[in-house]
């Protein structure tokens, strides 16, 4: 347990109403103009509700204390009063109109469709996000980076438990960024509270949202539409950099893509591939096929001792590359690099007692790709 | 069907009691027997759905995965929602309607007694089917009680077909129940009982019954479309075939929003009888209560897309649904003001039914406030699908529907059993429920605003403390309900004999018959002046 | 008894039930009509038959986006990321698709426009999304879409995005095939 003195904490919280760090009770204003407007709106409505609540409950408690039968109270017999009834219909209506005005203004700002500086395609997959910098040739998947041991309580949990990814979305400060949100399988929802951006990612349809971030930093959010088993394990992390840092980051990403090509042509040993495959497996495959390759039958078959993982190499590679239509097994040929596909297939054939001893090299994967594109 | 009524009217001049043994319950057409069965069924489902909630809260007691796998966790959240909505709350109100509507309007029975029997017995079949899916390979429904496509179609477990069939059965049962209620209210009122003299519980149920007839067929339609998509190659909700997953949400919420009011309007009615009884003062603003209920029912049909503010509705649509939703606050406010005015300058006592009714007004109003906040579309972008929403609808449904049912149960238990329940135990039940409920659901506002999404089996450490508080509250609330079972059984088995009218401030025909209410009542219609 | 006879009342209520069931299904075409009228969900209408005169004074940036459904393995992308167009003029963009697998496959592309309010002003005169695409193993095709951006496009809209999602519908051909036990199993 993280908080061994939870009872003491609970008591002190109730006694003093003190908010410690973890006892966050309210929305944060966020780091964009829109998120600040939303926060203000939230607070205005909250305080209006508090005032109405105090009035209504005040009257109620007044009569609960003073109009008890035990005080010798004789019940009155009135049961209607037209003027009062009209008043308490009209006044709430006017309050609502007063609330609707700022709400409408903020909503219209959120729907602003003016030109953007950067367009990012955000695609939801079960259970990860894919980001594509439109017109930049940079794209990557963003997976949960929290180690499985922390989730199963075998290792102490870090500060950003479940809110950390292997590759965050990187954005520059001050630019107008447009998100084009869609999904490849079921409905997901992309949410970063600090930007007040939440948009459903719907397969077959594209949604848009925009933001202009005012402060560099790392902002975290989560998927907010139930999307299956690991809905709780597909966080959103956005790293906001200064314009120049962003530009150099983008340059590095492009260089990395070139380096990956080089890795593909390298001569790999079985051990090197298994070592790399271990990492790939534990970010990409482990959610369904599980840490020991035991799977979660019948939805997600076991790999340990399976026909595929111990059968012909070509079939095994084929399934990883093309996926299995109609099942949760996606086509990783599009999602992973040649090196990673080769590594993970080799790993699966040589882990958990699957001792095939054979290997797929990145060149084999590249050859498969090329053979199929002819 | 009308022949059945005639049979009761003329065929049997002598009063006969119930048949003996099990067949009494299987074949009964007596509204009191059927009401009792509905209430017991509902309570059973309440405990079952509650035990699923306990699994959820146990898993969320602390961060990390410890008790269940995420796949099973999703089945628990789904089944908890489905069972509480369709198995606990709705049948409880149908049970109350069966017992009380004939007694309140001076009718000998429900208008369609044989259909009444059938609509009850469909329910155990439906829920057996639904719960059995938990044991099927691939597991039970795991797509949330709102079962959004394509998670519930292309990506659903095998058992989804059973789920669809169970929903069909529940829908048929509800629709038959609703037809029965309408026929009873419109045709069997005692002479002199004009519509505007009916107790508010009867009024709210009449409106609820029309809502049921309007939206349950739409629910049946949406699950039929799912069935066709899954098995017959159509593409209502699949983009690949020219369909649209968002269409599912529109059709579902066209049912779903009125459904919310189906679960709360009868509670409004019951509370409108209970508060005057213990204030010893007539209900304030009867006429405006009736109109407010009608207004809420009407508005419930034009607000559905407020559940879909983040799916990408055009700005004009967002504005329309935001304004319409905010409008609901007006008639709801009228109701709350009326209840408070009823208490004003009364001679109040706080027996258990009144305690639950007062808690109902306060906590439901809090749920209404968070509802108003959720109606504001820009703010909803932050609230949507977080624990803030979970807190909101539990504040509406637990103190709203569930406390309304408890208040009704305590209020009418003397009439049903002929014994007074144990007042001390009843008050203890109230206070434990009240504390447990607030402890469970109030912190959910905080974690929601701080950014915790709903329907997740695990969470970041910043949410840990409040989740533990929530879980402790939920366990308290859950355990307390087993205590309620004890109180009811104790009351059935004995206790101080109840007079015909155990509450000195109570009004209504139901108090003119002896306690317990005889097997047959109002064979000769009473005169209502 | 008041008002209607029992039988007539029950009949009317049952009729209401049937009507509401039918209404549920009627929401489907109703929704499509609403979508096309108001651009809900960025849905576009079918083939556009009209023609318009180009307005050279205004320029709109049209961006192209392609997504594969998660089990779709084809290569699929537009020839260019974006083009500038004049409202009223007929424009063309070519999308390229390639079936890299060793089997014949059928695909369906689903278009979507954002911002949604622009959808009603985006007219396709010719589109590969109007029909299914069958590609043999290794086959590659160029698929054109010809479109007009309406002259009435609201002035504040300066750019729009045309997104296609490509779905593998091989298993849906013919639809009845899905009824076999194996296919239902496969679909899980």
Q: Which of B150, B347, B362 sits opposite A203 (nearest CB)?
A: B150
Please name the chains neighbouring B, where neighbouring means 3+ C-beta pairs under 8 angstroms: A, C
State residue B193's pLDDT score: 94
Helices (H), B397-463: 403-417, 423-450
Determine, for residues B245 and A108 on separate chains, whether the beta-carbon distance falls below 8 Å: no
Q: Å from B89 to nearest chain C CA?
A: 22
My answer on whether A226 and A283 are in the same domain is no
Phi-psi map region of A139: left, alpha, beta (phi>0 left; psi -120 to 50 alpha): beta
My answer on whether C75 and C133 are in the same domain is yes
> Is C111 at the interface with chain B, CB within 8 A?
no
Which residues constitute the domain of residue A100? 27-64+82-112
Q: Which of C1, C117, C187 sits opposite B154 (nearest CB)?
A: C187
Q: Identify the residue whose tokens are 């729907």.
A: A111
B486, containing H or E segment: helix B464-493
Tell me which chain A residue has its CA closest to the CA of residue C182: A326
Average pLDDT on B502-507 reads: 94
- Using alpha carbons, list the distances in angstroms from residue A236 to A121, A133, A335, B483: 14, 16, 18, 44
> Is A9 at the interface with chain C, CB within 8 A?
no
Determine, for residues B240 and C110 on separate chains, whether the beta-carbon distance falls below 8 Å: yes
Tell me which chain C residue has its CA closest to the CA of residue B224: C25
Number of helices followed by number of strands (H, E) in chain A: 11, 10
Closest by Cα among A34, A24, A25, A27 to A196? A34
Using a CB-CB cut-off of 8 Å, the residues of chain B touching C38 are 314, 316-317
State residue B277's pLDDT score: 96
E-strand spans in chain C? Answer: 60-68, 75-78, 82-85, 90-98, 105-114, 122-127, 133-135, 140-149, 159-168
Average pLDDT on B313-342 reads: 94
Determine, for residues C4 and B186 on separate chains, whether the beta-carbon distance falls below 8 Å: yes
**Whole-angstrom Cα distance, residue C188 to residue C184?**
7
**Whole-angstrom Cα distance, residue C117 to residue C157?**
9
Residue A9 lies inside a defined structural domain of this protein: no
Please name the chains neighbouring A, where neighbouring means 3+ C-beta pairs under 8 angstroms: B, C
**Whole-angstrom Cα distance, residue B371 to residue B373?**
5
Q: Å from C172 to nearest chain B CA?
A: 7
My answer on whether C79 and C150 are in the same domain is yes
Let me know if B306 is a catalytic residue.
yes
Using a CB-CB cut-off of 8 Å, the residues of chain B touching A299 are 71, 138, 157
Residue C91 lies inside a defined structural domain of this protein: yes
My answer on whether A105 and A172 are in the same domain is no
Q: Å from A238 to nearest chain B CA?
A: 15
Using a CB-CB cut-off of 8 Å, the residues of chain B touching A52 are 369
Catalytic residue (one of B261, B383, B411, B412): B261
* CA-CA-CA-CA dihedral for B12, B18, B19, B20, to nearest 10: -150
Let me know if B257 is a catalytic residue.
yes
Residue A72 lies inside a defined structural domain of this protein: no
Determine, for residues C179 and B218 on separate chains, whether the beta-carbon distance falls below 8 Å: no
Q: Go through the domains of chain B in sequence order and give each one's CATH number.
A: 39-246 (1.20.210.10), 264-518 (1.20.210.10)
Residue C179 lies inside a defined structural domain of this protein: no
My answer on whether C15 and C70 are in the same domain is no
Average pLDDT on C26-46 reads: 80
The residue among A233, A256, A279 that closes a domain is: A256
Using a CB-CB cut-off of 8 Å, the residues of chain A touching B378 are 34, 37-38, 41, 103, 106-107, 110, 196
Q: How many domains does chain C have?
A: 2
| Residue C109 scores a pLDDT above 70 | yes
Cβ atoms A350, C75 nearer than 8 A: no
My answer on whether A354 and A368 are in the same domain is yes
Using a CB-CB cut-off of 8 Å, the residues of chain A touching C140 are 373
**Whole-angstrom Cα distance, residue C67 to residue C146?**
19
Residue C48 lies inside a defined structural domain of this protein: no
My answer on whether C12 and C74 are in the same domain is no
Using a CB-CB cut-off of 8 Å, the residues of chain C touching A113 are 115, 117-118, 156-159
My answer on whether A140 and A236 are in the same domain is yes
Cβ atoms B217, B206 nearer than 8 A: no
Closest by Cα among C112, C48, C96, C114 to B242? C112
Side-chain-side CA neighbours of A308 within 13 Å: the count stands at 17
Instruction: Choose between A113 and B102: higher pLDDT.
Output: B102
> If you ran DSSP here, which 8-state letter would residue C83 be given?
E
> Predicted ipTM?
0.91
Residue A208 lies inside a defined structural domain of this protein: yes
My answer on whether C68 and C161 are in the same domain is yes
CA A238, distance to chain mean position in Å, is 10
Q: Count other C-beta atoms under 10 Å from residue C135's C-beta.
A: 19
Average pLDDT, chain B: 93
**Whole-angstrom Cα distance, residue B516 to residue B495?**
12
My answer on whether A131 and A225 are in the same domain is yes
State residue C187's pLDDT score: 39
Let me know if B259 is a catalytic residue.
yes
Maximum C-alpha span of chain B? 71
> Is A134 at the interface with chain C, CB within 8 A?
yes
Please name the chains neighbouring C, where neighbouring means 3+ C-beta pairs under 8 angstroms: A, B
Let me know if B173 is a catalytic residue.
yes
Phi-psi map region of A164: left, alpha, beta (phi>0 left; psi -120 to 50 alpha): beta
Residue C53 lies inside a defined structural domain of this protein: no
> Is C156 at the interface with chain B, CB within 8 A?
no
Q: Å from B183 to nearest chain C CA?
A: 7
The residue among A211, A228, A256 that closes a domain is: A256
| The pair of three-digit structure tokens given for residue A310, joined into one six-digit string | 């111990």
Residue A343 lies inside a defined structural domain of this protein: yes
My answer on whether A337 and A246 are in the same domain is no
Which of A78-92, A357-371, B344-358, C127-141 is least confident? A357-371
> Is C170 at the interface with chain B, CB within 8 A?
no
Determine, for residues B446 and A26 on separate chains, whether the beta-carbon distance falls below 8 Å: yes
Catalytic residue (one of B145, B146, B224, B385): B145
Please give the backbone phi and psi of residue A192, each rounded to the nearest 5 degrees, phi first.
Answer: -125, 105
Tens of pLDDT, residue by residue over B216-238, are 999 999 999 999 999 998 889 98
Let me know if B261 is a catalytic residue.
yes
DSSP string, B506-517: --SGGGGS-SSP
**Whole-angstrom Cα distance, residue A317 to residue A320?**
5
Q: Å from A306 to nearest chain C CA?
A: 18
My answer on whether A124 and A232 are in the same domain is yes
CB-based contacts of B41-45 (< 8 A; 24+ apart in sequence): B41/B87, B41/B91, B41/B95, B41/B120, B41/B123, B41/B124, B42/B87, B42/B88, B42/B89, B42/B91, B42/B92, B42/B95, B42/B405, B43/B88, B43/B92, B43/B485, B45/B83, B45/B84, B45/B87, B45/B88, B45/B91, B45/B127
DSSP string, B149-196: TTTTTTT--TTHHHHHHHHHHHHHHHHHHHHHHHHHHHH-PPTT--GG
Tens of pLDDT, residue by residue over A230-271, are 999 999 999 999 999 999 999 998 888 777 777 777 788 888
Side-chain-side CA neighbours of A183 within 13 Å: the count stands at 26
**Whole-angstrom Cα distance, residue B349 to residue B311?**
49
End-to-end CA distance of chain C: 55
State residue B201's pLDDT score: 97
State residue B331's pLDDT score: 96
> Is A329 at the interface with chain C, CB within 8 A?
yes
Cβ atoms A182, C67 nearer than 8 A: yes
Cβ atoms B74, A229 nearer than 8 A: yes
Determine, for residues B230 and C39 on separate chains, whether the beta-carbon distance falls below 8 Å: no
> Is A323 at the interface with chain C, CB within 8 A?
yes
Q: Coil, strand, or helix at residue A29?
A: coil
Average pLDDT on B125-146 reads: 94
Side-chain-side CA neighbours of A256 within 13 Å: the count stands at 11
My answer on whether C106 and C147 are in the same domain is yes
State residue B9's pLDDT score: 41
> Is C171 at the interface with chain B, CB within 8 A?
no
Question: In sequence order, what are the beta bridge partners of A212?
Answer: A176
Q: Which of A326, A330, A374 sits opposite C138 (nearest CB)?
A: A374
Determine, for residues A79 and B456 on separate chains, whether the beta-carbon distance falls below 8 Å: no
**Whole-angstrom Cα distance, residue A204 to residue C124?**
18
Q: At what angle do helices A270-280 and A338-349 cross, to 10 degrees?
A: 100
Which residues constitute the domain of residue C162? 60-168
CATH, residue A282: 1.10.760.10
Using a CB-CB cut-off of 8 Å, the residues of chain C touching A322 are 73, 101
| Residue B10 scores a pLDDT above 80 | no
| Residue B266 scores a pLDDT above 60 | yes
Determine, for residues A45 and B373 on separate chains, whether the beta-carbon distance falls below 8 Å: yes
Q: How many domains does chain A have?
A: 3
**Whole-angstrom Cα distance, residue B515 to residue B498?**
6
Residues of chain A above pLDDT 70, percent: 93
Let me know if B411 is a catalytic residue.
no
State residue A372's pLDDT score: 58
With vertex at residue B364, the alpha carbon angle to CA B435 and CA B143, rounded to the nearest 5 degrees, is 90
My answer on whether C66 and C96 are in the same domain is yes
| Residue B183 scores a pLDDT above 60 | yes
Cβ atoms A157, B64 nearer than 8 A: yes
Let me know if B80 is a catalytic residue.
yes
Instruction: Band the pLDDT of A371: cuts 50, 70, 90.
Output: low
State residue C173's pLDDT score: 58
Closest by Cα among B418, B416, B415, B398 to B356? B398
Contacts of C179 (CB under 8 A, 6+ apart): B231, B232, B233
Residue C126 lies inside a defined structural domain of this protein: yes
| The pair of three-digit structure tokens given for residue A139, joined into one six-digit string | 């794209």
Instruction: Band the pLDDT of A336: cuts 50, 70, 90.
Output: confident
Mutation to test the B interface, candidates A66, A224, A287, A290, most B Cβ within 10 Å: A224
| Residue C186 scores a pLDDT above 60 | no
Determine, for residues A108 and B315 on separate chains, whether the beta-carbon distance falls below 8 Å: yes
Contacts of C184 (CB under 8 A, 6+ apart): B158, B230, B231, C178
Please give the backbone phi and psi of residue C126, each rounded to the nearest 5 degrees, phi first.
Answer: -155, 135
A179, containing H or E segment: strand A176-183
Q: Which of C100, C113, C165 sits opposite A204 (nearest CB)?
A: C165
Determine, for residues B154 and C38 on separate chains, whether the beta-carbon distance falls below 8 Å: no
Report the DSSP pairing between strands C105-114 and C159-168. antiparallel
Cβ atoms A348, A316 nearer than 8 A: yes
Question: In sequence order, what are the beta bridge partners of A121?
Answer: A132, A180
Residues of chain A above pLDDT 90, percent: 52
Residue C187 lies inside a defined structural domain of this protein: no
Q: Count other C-beta atoms under 10 Å from residue C168's C-beta.
A: 24
Determine, for residues B254 and C27 on separate chains, whether the beta-carbon distance falls below 8 Å: yes
Cβ atoms A249, A69 nearer than 8 A: no
> Is B3 at the interface with chain C, CB within 8 A?
no
Q: Å from A91 to nearest chain B CA?
A: 9
My answer on whether A302 and A172 are in the same domain is no
Residues of chain C above pLDDT 90, percent: 35
β-sheet with C140-149: strand ranges across: C75-78, C90-98, C140-149, C122-127
CATH, residue A181: 2.60.40.420
Tell me which chain B residue has its CA closest to the CA of residue A52: B369
Determine, for residues C41 and B220 on separate chains, whether the beta-carbon distance falls below 8 Å: no
Q: Count other C-beta atoms under 10 Å from residue B454's C-beta.
A: 22
State residue A9's pLDDT score: 47
State residue A209's pLDDT score: 93
The residue among A202, A233, A256 that closes a domain is: A256
My answer on whether C95 and C32 are in the same domain is no
Which of A14-23, A166-175, B21-30, B157-166 is least confident? A14-23
Instruction: Band the pLDDT of C3: cuts 50, 70, 90.
Output: low
My answer on whether C148 and C83 are in the same domain is yes
State residue B15's pLDDT score: 55
State residue A370's pLDDT score: 63
Catalytic residue (one of B33, B59, B229, B259): B259
Please give the backbone phi and psi of residue A143, each rounded to the nearest 5 degrees, phi first.
Answer: -105, 155
């Amino acid at each position: 347990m993280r908080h061994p003195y939870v009872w003491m904490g609970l008591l002190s919280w109730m006694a003093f109403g003190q908010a410690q760090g973890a006892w966050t009770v309210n929305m944060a204003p966020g780091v964009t103009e829109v998120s600040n407007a939303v926060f203000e709106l939230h607070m205005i409505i909250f305080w209006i509700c508090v005032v109405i609540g105090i009035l209504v409950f005040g009257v109620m408690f007044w009569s609960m204390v003073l109009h008890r039968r035990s005080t010798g109270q004789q019940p009155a017999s009135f049961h209607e009063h037209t003027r009062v009834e009209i008043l308490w219909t009209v006044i709430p209506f006017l309050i609502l109109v007063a609330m609707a005005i700022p709400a409408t203004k903020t909503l219209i700002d959120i729907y602003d469709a003016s030109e953007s500086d950067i367009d990012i395609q955000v695609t939801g997959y079960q259970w990860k996000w894919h980001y594509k910098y439109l017109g930049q040739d940079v794209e990557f998947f963003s997976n949960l980076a929290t180690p499985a041991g922390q989730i199963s309580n075998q290792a102490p949990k870090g500060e950003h438990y479940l809110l950390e990814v292997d590759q965050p979305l990187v954005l520059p400060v001050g630019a107008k960024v447009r998100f084009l949100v869609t999904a490849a399988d079921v409905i997901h929802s992309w949410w970063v509270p600090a930007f007040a951006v939440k948009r459903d990612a719907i397969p077959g349809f594209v949604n848009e949202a925009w933001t202009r971030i005012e402060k560099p930093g790392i902002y975290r959010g989560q998927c907010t539409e139930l999307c299956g088993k690991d809905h709780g394990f597909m966080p959103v992390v956005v790293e906001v950099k200064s314009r120049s840092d962003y530009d150099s980051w983008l340059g590095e990403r492009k260089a990395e893509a070139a380096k990956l090509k080089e890795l593909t042509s390298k001569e790999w040993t079985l051990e090197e591939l298994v070592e790399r495959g271990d990492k790939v497996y534990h970010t990409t495959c482990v959610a369904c096929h599980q840490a020991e390759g035991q799977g979660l039958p019948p939805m997600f078959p076991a790999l340990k001792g399976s026909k595929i993982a111990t059968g012909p190499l070509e079939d095994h590679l084929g399934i990883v590359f093309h996926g299995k239509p109609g099942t949760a097994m996606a086509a990783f040929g599009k999602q992973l690099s040649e090196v990673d596909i080769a590594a993970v297939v080799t790993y699966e054939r040589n882990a958990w007692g699957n001792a095939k001893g054979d290997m797929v090299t990145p060149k084999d994967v590249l050859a498969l790709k090329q053979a199929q594109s002819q | 069907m009308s022949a059945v009524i005639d049979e009761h009217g003329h065929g049997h001049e002598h009063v006969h009691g119930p048949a003996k043994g099990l067949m009494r319950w299987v074949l009964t057409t007596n509204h009191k027997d059927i009401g009792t069965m509905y209430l017991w069924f509902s309570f059973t489902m309440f405990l079952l759905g509650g035990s699923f909630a306990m699994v959820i809260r146990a898993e969320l007691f602390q961060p990390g995965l410890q008790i269940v796998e995420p796949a099973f966790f999703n089945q628990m959240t789904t089944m908890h929602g489905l069972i509480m909505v369709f198995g606990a709350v709705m049948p409880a109100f149908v049970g109350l309607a069966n017992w009380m509507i004939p007694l309140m309007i001076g009718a000998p029975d429900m208008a369609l007694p044989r259909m009444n029997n059938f609509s009850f017995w469909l329910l155990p079949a439906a829920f057996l089917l639904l719960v059995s899916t938990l044991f099927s390979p691939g597991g039970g429904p795991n797509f949330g009680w709102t079962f959004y496509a394509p998670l519930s179609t292309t990506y659903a477990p095998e058992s989804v077909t059973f789920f669809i069939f169970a929903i069909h059965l529940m829908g048929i049962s509800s629709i038959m129940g609703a037809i029965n209620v309408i026929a009873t209210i419109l045709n069997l009122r005692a002479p002199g009982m004009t519509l505007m003299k009916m107790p508010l519980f009867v009024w709210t149920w009449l409106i609820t019954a029309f809502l049921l007839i309007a939206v349950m067929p739409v629910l049946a339609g949406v699950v039929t479309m799912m069935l066709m998509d899954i098995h017959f190659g159509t593409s209502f909700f699949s983009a690949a075939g020219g369909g649209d997953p968002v269409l599912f949400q529109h059709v579902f919420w066209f049912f779903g929003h009125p459904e919310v009011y189906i679960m709360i309007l009868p509670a409004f009615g019951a509370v409108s009888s209970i508060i005057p009884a213990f204030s010893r003062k007539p209900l304030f603003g009867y006429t405006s209560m009736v109109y407010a209920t009608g207004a809420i029912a009407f508005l419930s049909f034009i607000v559905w897309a407020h559940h879909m503010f983040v799916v990408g509705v055009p700005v004009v649509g967002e504005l329309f649904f935001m304004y319409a939703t905010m409008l609901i606050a007006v008639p709801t406010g009228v109701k709350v003001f009326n209840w408070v005015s009823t208490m004003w300058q009364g001679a109040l006592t706080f027996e258990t039914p009144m305690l639950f009714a007062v808690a109902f007004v306060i906590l439901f109003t809090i749920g209404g406030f968070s509802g108003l906040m959720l109606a504001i579309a820009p703010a909803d972008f932050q609230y949507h699908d977080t624990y803030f929403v979970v807190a909101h609808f539990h504040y509406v449904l637990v103190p709203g529907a569930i406390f309304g049912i408890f208040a009704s149960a305590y209020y009418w238990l003397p009439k049903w059993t002929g014994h007074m329940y144990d007042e001390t135990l009843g008050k203890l039940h109230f206070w434990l429920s009240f504390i447990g409920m607030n402890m469970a659901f109030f912190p959910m506002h905080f974690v929601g605003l701080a950014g915790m999404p709903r329907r997740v089996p695990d969470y970041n450490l910043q949410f840990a403390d409040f989740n533990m508080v929530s879980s402790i509250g939920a366990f308290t609330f859950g355990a307390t309900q087993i205590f309620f079972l004890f109180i009811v059984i104790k009351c059935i088995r004995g206790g101080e004999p109840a007079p015909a009218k155990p509450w000195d401030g109570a009004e209504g025909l139901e108090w003119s018959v002896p306690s317990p209410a005889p097997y047959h009542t109002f064979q000769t219609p009473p005169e209502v002046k | 008894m008041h008002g209607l006879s029992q039988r007539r009342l029950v009949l009317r209520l049952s009729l209401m039930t049937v009507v509401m069931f039918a209404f549920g299904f009627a929401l489907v075409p109703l929704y499509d009509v609403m979508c096309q009228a108001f651009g809900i969900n960025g849905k576009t209408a079918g083939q556009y038959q009209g023609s318009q005169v180009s307005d050279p004074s205004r320029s709109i940036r049209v961006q192209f986006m392609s997504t594969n459904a998660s089990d779709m393995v084809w290569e699929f992308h537009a020839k260019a990321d974006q083009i500038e167009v004049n409202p009223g003029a007929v424009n063309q963009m070519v999308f390229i698709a390639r079936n890299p697998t060793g089997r014949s496959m059928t695909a369906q592309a689903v278009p979507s426009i954002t911002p949604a309010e622009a959808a009603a002003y985006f007219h396709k005169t010719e589109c590969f999304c109007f029909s299914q695409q069958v590609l043999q193993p290794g086959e590659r095709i160029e698929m054109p879409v010809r479109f007009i951006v309406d002259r009435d496009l609201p002035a504040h809209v300066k750019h729009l995005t045309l997104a296609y999602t490509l779905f593998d519908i091989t298993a849906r051909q013919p639809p009845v095939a899905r009824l076999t036990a194996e296919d239902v199993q496969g679909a899980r």
